[in-house]
Amino acid sequence: MTYAITQTCCSDATCVAVCPVNCIHPTPEEQAFGSTEMLYVDPETCIDCGACADACPVDAIFPVDSLFGAQKEYAGINAAYYAGREPEPAAGPNFHAWGEPSFPRSLPSDFAPIRVAVVGTGPAGMYAAEDLLLHTNAEVTLIDRLPVGGGLVRYGVAPDHPATKGVGEAFARFHSHPRVRMHLGVEVGKDLTAEELSAHHDAVIYAVGASASRRLGIPGEDLPASAPATSFVSWYNAHPEVPPETFDLSAERVIVAGNGNVALDVARVLVTDPAALAGTDIAGHALAALRDSRVREVVLLGRRGPDDTACTASELLALGHLPGVELVVDDGDPRTAAAIDEAATGAKASLLRELPRETVDWSQPPPPGRRIVFRFHSSPVEVLGADAVEAVRVTAADGDQEIPAGLFLRAIGYRGLPVPGLPFDEATGTVPHEGGRVAGVPGSYVVGWIKRGPSGGIGANRTCAAETVGTLLADAVAGALPSPPYPAKAFGRLARNRGRQVVDARGLAAIDRAEQARGREQGRPRVKFDTVPALIAASKGSRWRPVR
C-alpha cells in the first residue's frame, strides 16, 4: 500500500532525501519545487517502505489505508499530481529518473572551525544552524531577542496545527549540541551592535524574519479594534509582547482583509468550538476569551476573484471539515459565481463549488450558528467608528457598501524591518544580498524572509538556508571572512554584561519543562508563559507571580 502526503506538509524535502526510489516530487532540483503548495508521493512508484514517514518533521505522511476523515482525499490529491504524465523510460519500470550526483560544497580536509552567530531561532535560523552543525565543524552561537526560542514555530503556527509545531522538536535537538552556545533575550541593535557581534564571530547569519505587518493606508485603520492579523495570531499564541487584554471578542461579526493562510487561521480560531481548542497550547487568556466570545461570523475579504484565493488548497479543504461551522460564498458580485462555475477541476476556485451561495444582507446581524463568509472582488476603503471599529466600508459591484463589525483584522502580508548596521531595501523590506551575502558588509549573511521577502512556508527555509550557508562556506574557504579579534568566550561575557537576563540552553529546557508541567495540570500539551518576567523566572527554575 502506498503512502500519501497530507495537509501539514512543510515542503522542506527531508522526505525526498530518504526515499530509496525517488517517488516524491517535486524535488529541490526540479523547477516546480517551491511553486507547488506541497510535495506528492507517486502511488505507482512507492514501495511502501515508510522511510519518508519516519523522516517527516511535521508528521504529514501516512499509509493510504490508514487515512481517515478529511485526510482521505489526500490519496487522490497525491495521485492526481502524477496523472497523465508520460513515463520516464530511462528510469526503468519502477523508478523515476535520478538526477546527476551533485556535490556543491567541497571543504578542505584541514578546514578550521569557524565561529558563526545565527540571529533568530525560528525555522530559517535553525535550518542554517542545522546545516552548519551537520556538515561542518563550525561553532554556532544562537541569539534571539526573546528569552525563549522558536520564532514563528512557537508564535506563528495556529494552536490547532500541532503536527506543524512538531518541526520545533527537530530543531530543539540542536539547542544542546556541544558546538552550540545559546544567548536568548539579547537584541542586536539594542543590547549590542552588529559591529560588536561581528567582532566576536567569523560570520553572522541574520534570520530575523519579517515581523512588521503591511498596512492598507485607509482612513480609520488605526482605530481601536483595528489591528494586524499577525497581532491576533501572536495574542492567541501567548507572545509576551501582546498583552492578554489586547482583543475584545464581544462583537458578533469580525472582518478580515485577506484570504491567505493567516486569514484562514484567524477565522478558524474565531469560530472553532473552544472545547476543541482546550486540548492545544493556545494561550490561556485567549481560550478564556473565546469561551466568552460572541463572534458568530467572520467575513474574509478578497481583493481579487476566487481563482486568486491566496490560501493553499489544503488549508481551504480543511476549513470545510470544521465541525459546526458553515462556509458561505457571498455572490453579490456576479463575477464570483462565474469564476467558481467555470473553474477547472483541481483549481482552488473549484473547491468552492459545493458551498452555498447567498447575497448577504449586511444590514442584518449574522444568522444563528457560526459561519465564515467568503467575499471576493471586495477591498476595504475605510474603517468606520467614533471611538472603535463599528463598520468597514468596502468596494462592491454596484458601489461601496458598509459592513457592520466590531473587530477588523488585516491579513495582507508581512514586511521586514531594518537591521541596525545592515543595508535595507525599503521597497522590498529586505536586506540586499548576493546568494545570502549581505552587500557591502563582509562576514554578514541573511536567510529567510529578511533575505527573500515574506514568501514560502517553514520548509522553504531549508533550501534558502542551504544557499546562504553555501555562500558563507565558499567565502570561508576563499579566506574572505574577517578574523574576529576577540576569543570565543568573550561574547558570553559581553552579552551578560549588557544588563539583560540572558537565557541559555539549560534555561530554555527549564522553560519547556515548566510549561509542560503546567499543561499536565490542565490536561493540555503545555501552558505557555506569556510575559518576559515569567519566562525568565521559569528559566531559573523558580515561580514567578505577577504583582497585583
To which CATH superfamily is domain 214-413 assigned? FAD/NAD(P)-binding domain (3.50.50.60)
Res 301: pLDDT: 97
CB 117 within 8 A of CB 141: yes
Res 548: pLDDT: 37
Res 293: pLDDT: 98
Q: Give the CATH fold of the 3-91 domain.
A: Alpha-Beta Plaits (3.30.70)
3-state secondary structure of 52: helix
Comparing 1 with 17, the larger pLDDT belongs to 17
Grid coordinates given for 444:
554578514
Please give the Cα distance from 521 to 517 (Å, whole number). 7
Alpha-carbon Rg for the chain, nearest whole angstrom, is 24
Class of domain 115-211+416-503: alpha beta
pLDDT > 90? residue 178: yes
> Which residues, including other chains, have CB under 8 Å from residue 76's CB and lie 6 or more apart?
none
> Which tens digit of pLDDT belongs to each residue from 99-114?
777 777 778 888 889 9
Interval 131-148 mean pLDDT: 96
Comparing 4 with 33, the larger pLDDT belongs to 4
Mean pLDDT of the chain: 93
Domain ranges of the chain: 3-91, 115-211+416-503, 214-413
pLDDT > 60? residue 31: yes
CB 155 within 8 A of CB 234: yes
Residue 547 — very low, low, confident or very high, per pLDDT cuts 50/70/90? Answer: very low
Interval 428-457 mean pLDDT: 95
3-state secondary structure of 403: strand
CB 448 within 8 A of CB 457: no
Res 455: pLDDT: 85
Interval 251-267 mean pLDDT: 97
Residue in 58, 40, 62, 68 with CA at minimum distance from that of residue 50: 62
Res 399: pLDDT: 86
Q: HEC string of 428-459?
A: CCECCEECCEECCCCCEEECCHHHHCCCCCCC
Interval 376-399 mean pLDDT: 94
Containing 473, the helix (H) or strand (E) segment is: helix 460-477
Separation of first and last alpha carbons in the chain: 60
> Which tens digit of pLDDT belongs to each residue from 40-81?
999 999 999 999 999 999 999 999 999 998 899 999 999 999
Q: What is the pTM of this model?
A: 0.93
Percent of the chain with pLDDT over 70: 97
Res 102: pLDDT: 75
> Which tens digit of pLDDT belongs to each residue from 345-372?
888 999 999 999 999 999 999 999 999 9
> How many Cβ atoms sit within 10 Å of the Cβ of residue 50?
14
Beta strands in 39-188 (DSSP E): 40-41, 61-63, 115-119, 139-144, 180-184
Res 219: pLDDT: 97
> Which tens digit of pLDDT belongs to each residue from 443-462?
999 999 999 999 888 989 99
53-to-67, 172, 430, 506 alpha-carbon distances in Å: 13, 20, 35, 31
Please give the Cα distance from 540 to 262 (Å, whole number). 34
Length in residues, the chain: 548
> Which tens digit of pLDDT belongs to each residue from 304-358?
999 999 999 999 999 999 999 999 999 989 999 999 999 998 889 999 999 999 9
Burial status of residue 100 (CB atoms within 10 A of its CB: 0-12, 13-18, 19 or more): exposed
> Which tens digit of pLDDT belongs to each residue from 182-220?
999 999 999 999 999 999 999 999 999 998 899 999 999
Angle 43-48-49 (CA atoms, 0-180°, nearest 5)?
A: 140
> Which tens digit of pLDDT belongs to each residue from 214-237?
999 999 999 999 999 999 999 999
- Domains 115-211+416-503 and 214-413 alike in fold: no
Please give the Cα distance from 198 to 387 (Å, whole number). 48
CB 60 within 8 A of CB 6: yes
